[in-house]
Structure 1
């Protein structure tokens, strides 16, 4: 009889420890599942945060700000011309598109984004226009 009393006390003690250590809750867990909390979702970086150290992005942004681009374009919102984000969504970042778009910036263009013409920028060098286009395309 003494053995049964000791066994009963041991079972009672084990049950109390289990409950005290968090094992007595109503939550159920499937076999093989982890009890650790899931990792926090990775924060999505803005293109500016993602490209802050990219020299093409930094130089292009500076050139865009120095020129008259902001009078017709914004990053996320259409003003007179398309937003930079719309351009980045439409064109893949590659050498051919950079060259094509830079030539349109210099020569001016109409019809790609509606009937409002983009004025020519003949005083802009090809290198600067390409740098600005790279900035815009990196906003994707």
Structure 2
């Protein structure tokens, strides 16, 4: 079996993968922003970075919301990177690869917005999660089928 990887698809994956990596890095900054805004930190030594009113708190709802969104990213984006890296070796059409890669990244951005930045009522978060999940699932099944034949 030979591996045929379309350079145009690799370029698309690299571009959108880079966007997604920056988005995940931004989640750390979003968490820090919430901690400073609320003056709540996870470690006593961190309170010295802010005002005298700052304190150690492990259950602030706003900070925890951002942390859960970040964790959700890690739970979904890491498998997507792995699956997509394998899937592009199955020689998908450039149109389909571009559509699925962009769809996943955009749904993860939407998920962050409606979960951590401007909490929006369901089903916004569920839909953005589901579309991304199904995208990764499709690529995983396609990859398994391709390499099992």
| TM norm structure 2 | 0.25
Bigger fraction of residues in helix: 2
| TM norm structure 1 | 0.26
Larger Rg: 1
Bigger relative contact order, structure 1 or 2 (CA pairs below 8 A, ≥6 apart): 2
